[in-house]
Structure formats: structure tokens, C-alpha cells
Amino acid sequence: MRVLAALLALCFGAWAMAQVPGTVGYSGALFECPESGPCNGYSYMGPVTFRLWDDPDSTDLSHFVWQETQPQVKVEAGYFHVELGSAKPLGPDAFAGPRWLEVQVGDDAPLKPRSPVGSVPFALACKDAVSLQGQAPTAFAQASHVHAIADVTGLQAALDQKAQAMHNHDDLYYRKAEVDTALAGKAPVGASYTKAESDARYAAISHTHAISDTLGLQAALDGKADKSVEGTVAGLQAAVSDLLKTVASLQSEVTTLKATVASQTVTIAAHEARI
């Protein structure tokens, strides 16, 4: 039976201001223990799989945290050392709580029991950071906090330009229905038209209209006299006088014509008497 003895080292004594390494050193010893007799370390070169769980025994995937397989792990007389995270990054949640490390050599079954992950002295300081970029924790706001309006630059001025959510409008404003009616049929701001659409919507600067295109123009013209009929009162009186003279002349001619007809009638009667 194979037995694992392990030592998990964290932080490696890194100072607070130094860059935190992305891997965790792990040293272990593999022994083969017969049913009787002493355990002996053995040599091996090949893949070893490492898994982190948040439970010492459960294999339910809800407790699984992280896994990587390092393809060439060298074991000499049972002892080996690896850097966890060198094949697959550990990520920020790898050690965010109680953890147990599981080791599987090649295709063998995972070794039991899982090794609990502890802390070395310097790692204990990581529990509550002393500073962040040289600033004390008191220099930063809590994740959950509030601000006054005055704390936000320009917010009060912006609010002063807004109306209350519940408000009324006086006669200086239009109701929405009135605005919608006024805007109906209007082109939106920035709308563009093709030349054909523009020609259909607008007349040229120089253009003509028929009388029928102007509402009420024909009726107005019908109530006007012809421009050629014009004159003064004196001119009209002279025209009337000339007309009266013409009538008198016609009456004289009619009288003469009647006398001629009467004379002709007498002559005809005389001729008939002779016959």
C-alpha cells in the first residue's frame, strides 16, 4: 500500500510589499508499506494529479475546487517537490476557505486521506492585509457604503434642472396629445430625402400656378368687370347723348319709311281701281 506524507508551504516568507507568487510549493514523500515490515520510499517519473476540495472526504463535484496534472514529476527514494499552479493557475478562490489536497499518482486510485491545507507564519498575515499600495485600510471605503448628494460633484446642480416626478404644467406648455398632433406628418430631425422625394415634396424657387391652384381666386375674378371697360362720368354721359341721337335718327327714319309705305299703298290701290 502506498502512503503519502506531505508538507504544504504557503507564501514562502514573502514580504507584504513584494509580489505574491502565483504558485504554491508542495513537498511530499511516497512510501510503499507492505502488510508487514517497514515502509520504503520508491522512485517514480511520470504524471501526478493534484486536486483541491473543500471537504476532507466527499467526492461530490459541488465540493471540488481545483485540479491540475503535472506530466513529469520526479520522485527519488520517495521524496518529491512540485509547484502547485504551474500547470493550471490556482485562481483567487483556490484557498478562500478550508481546503484539502488530494494526490493521484499516474492511473492509481487517489491516495487517502486527503491532506489538510494549513498556513505558514507569513501566510497568517495575509488573513487581514496590513496595507494596500502603502495605504492603511481606513483610507478606503467599505464595500457597502452610502454618499450624500453633496459628495457627488455636479449632482445637485443636475437635480436643480429637473422637475419633480409628480408635477403639473400650466398653459405655457402643451399636452402630449397636442404635441403629437402638431408633430404629425413632420419629418424627424436629421431625416434625409432622395432627390426624387424632394422633387415630389417641394416646388422649385421659380414656378407658376393655375387660377384653380389658388383657393377663391376664380370667384374673385368673376366679380370683377373687364379691364377694357373703363371711363369717367363725363365720358359715360357723352356716350349716352350719342346713343340718344342715334335713337332719334332711327325714329326719324322709321317715320319716313312709314310715309313711304303709306304712299305706296295709295298708289297700289289706285292701280287696282283702274284695273
Residues 229 and 242: their CA atoms lie apart, in Å, by: 18
pLDDT in tens, 26-54: 998 888 888 888 888 889 999 999 999 99
**pLDDT at residue 7 tops 60:** no
Ramachandran assignment for 109, one of left (phi > 0), alpha (psi -120 to 50 degrees), beta (any other): beta
**pLDDT at residue 15 tops 50:** no
- Identify whether the C-beta of residue 30 lies closer than 8 Å to the C-beta of residue 6: no
What is the four-CA torsion angle of 268, 269, 270, 272, rounded to 10 degrees? Answer: 90
- Identify whether the C-beta of residue 8 lies closer than 8 Å to the C-beta of residue 52: no
Instruction: Give the pLDDT score at 17.
Output: 43
Concatenated DSSP letters for 127-162? TS-S-BTTB-GGGS--SS----GGGSTTHHHHHHTS
Instruction: Give the pLDDT score at 20.
Output: 63
Instruction: Give the pLDDT score at 118.
Output: 82
Cis peptide leading into 89, omega within 30 of 0? no
For 199, phi then psi, to 5°, come to -60, -35
**Element holding 67 (H helix, E strand):** strand 64-75
**pLDDT at residue 145 tops 80:** yes
pLDDT in tens, 228-248: 655 567 777 887 888 888 888
pLDDT in tens, 119-132: 765 565 565 565 67
Convert 8-44 to b/e letters by CB count within 10 Å (16 or more is b). bebbeeeeeeeeeeeebbbebbbbeeeeeeebebeeb
**Percentage above 90 pLDDT, the chain:** 26
pLDDT in tens, 68-93: 999 999 999 999 999 999 999 988 88
As a whole number of Å, the end-to-end CA separation of the chain is 184
Stretch 134-149: mean pLDDT? 83
Instruction: Give the pLDDT score at 4.
Output: 60
Residues 237 and 240: their CA atoms lie apart, in Å, by: 5
27 versus 223: which is more confidently predicted? 27
Instruction: Give the pLDDT score at 200.
Output: 67
Side chain identity, residue 107: D
pLDDT in tens, 261-275: 777 777 777 766 776
Instruction: Give the pLDDT score at 105.
Output: 94
Side chain identity, residue 38: P
C-alpha cell at 223: 366679380
Mean pLDDT comparison of 40-44, 64-68, 150-154, highest-scoring range: 64-68
Side chain identity, residue 18: A
User: Which residues, including other chains, have CB under 8 Å from residue 182's CB and lie 6 or more apart?
Assistant: 174
pLDDT in tens, 168-201: 766 666 677 777 787 777 766 666 666 666 666 6
How large is the greatest C-alpha to C-alpha distance in the chain, in angstroms?
Answer: 198
Instruction: Give the pLDDT score at 241.
Output: 84
Q: 2-125, what's its fold?
A: Immunoglobulin-like (2.60.40)
- Identify whether the C-beta of residue 50 lies closer than 8 Å to the C-beta of residue 87: no
Stretch 5-25: mean pLDDT? 55
Residues 82 and 9: their CA atoms lie apart, in Å, by: 11
**pLDDT at residue 255 tops 80:** yes
**pLDDT at residue 210 tops 80:** yes
